[in-house]
Amino acid sequence: MAKVLTRKAVERPAWLLWVHGLGVAPAVLFWIGVLRGMYWINPLQTAIQRSGDAAILLLLASLTCTPLAWVRGLAWVVRWRRPLGLYAFAYALVHVALYVGVDYELNWAWLGAEFREKPYLWFGAGAFLILSGLAVTSLQGIQRRLGRRWKALHRLVYVAALLVLVHLALVVKGDALRLRGEVWKPLLAGMGVGVLLGVRLLRRVRRGLSKHL
């Protein structure tokens, strides 16, 4: 509990503003684009793509909080993790709802055919299921009830990030592994996920070593 106190002491008062600003920014930017008439020709495709982009960006932002909080004086950043993660889920929800509800108009036969044949959807759906589970269990009541299992459960966020990464790599026009085509998004996201997972593994290994020495 000492940690919480120090966190409170150095916390910026405006932190909530920043978090919500970051969370709402993609929607605001999109709306500005809409008002400027930038997407009128194929609005649905743009909306699906931009909501997906926002979801993965905020997911990465949320994952960045933990390693940032290790830095002396930045422990308070850990508070951003939950709201950013919830924003990521909100955009993912919009993303999926647009696809299923607006694009396919709940035509389950057509949707079923798509899901049967397209692996990119399996990875997206897997990630979406995990994010939904995490969003529900981030309610404080449930969080408390789950106790220590909560932490283990929420490690699944790394699985979700990896699944989204595959979803993204499969969804761009090109071949990310052969560095051909329009692949900068999965490359950047891949580096992001790589670094975020890497620093954590590194810390584990270092801690493990120092325990043994």
Partner 1 sequence: MRFRYPLPRSSEITPEALYHSRRRFLQGALSLSAGIALAACLPASKRPVPEDETALAPQATGRADEYGDALTPFEAVTHYNNYYEFSTDKQAVAQLARDFRVRPWTVEIGGLVHSPQTFGIEDLLQAFPLEERIYRLRCVEGWSMVIPWLGFPLRLLLEQADPMGSARFVRFVALHDPQQMPGQKNPLFPWPYTEGLRLDEALHDLTILAVGLYGQVLLPQNGAPLRLVVPWKYGFKSIKAIVRIELTEEQPATLWSTVAPQEYGFYANVNPAVSHPRWSQATERRIGESGRRPTLPFNGYAEQVATLYQGMDLSVYY
Rounded to a whole number of angstroms, the minimum distance from the CB of residue 62 to partner 1 is 27
Q: Are 28 and 51 in contact (CB under 8 A)?
A: no
What, of ligand HEM, partner 1, none, does residue 114 touch, CB below 5 to 8 Å by kind?
A: partner 1
Pick 81 or 167: Cβ nearer partner 1: 167
Half-sphere exposure (CA, 13 Å, Cβ side) for 80?
29
Q: Which residues pair with 181 in a beta bridge?
A: 174
Pick 20 or 180: Cβ nearer partner 1: 180
Residue 108 and residue 104: Cα distance in Å, rounded?
Answer: 8
Residue 179 and residue 18: Cα distance in Å, rounded?
Answer: 36
Instruction: List binders of ligand HEM among 142-181 (CB under 6 A).
Output: 164, 167-168, 171
Under DSSP, is residue 45 helix (H, G, I), strand (E, B) or coil?
helix
Pick 81 or 185: Cβ nearer ligand HEM: 185
What, of ligand HEM, partner 1, none, does residue 157 touch, CB below 5 to 8 Å by kind?
A: none
Q: Going by C-beta distance under 8 Å and a sequence separation of 6 or more, which residues neighbour residue 133?
A: 153, 156
Residues in the chain, total: 213
Q: Which chain residues interact with partner 1 by CB under 8 A?
A: 38-39, 41-42, 44-45, 102-105, 107, 110, 113-114, 117-120, 170-171, 173-175, 179-183
Q: Between 92 and 131, how does the x/- string for binding to ligand HEM read (CB under 6 A)?
A: x--xx--x---------------------x--xx-xx--x
Residue 148 and residue 145: Cα distance in Å, rounded?
Answer: 9
Of the candidates 59, 64, 122, 60, the one whose C-alpha atom is nearest the C-alpha of residue 89 is 59
Q: Dihedrals φ, ψ of 139, to 5°? A: -60, 140
Pick 181 or 198: Cβ nearer partner 1: 181
Positions touching ligand HEM (CB under 6 A) are 45, 48-49, 52-53, 55-56, 59, 88, 92, 95-96, 99, 121, 124-125, 127-128, 131, 164, 167-168, 171, 185
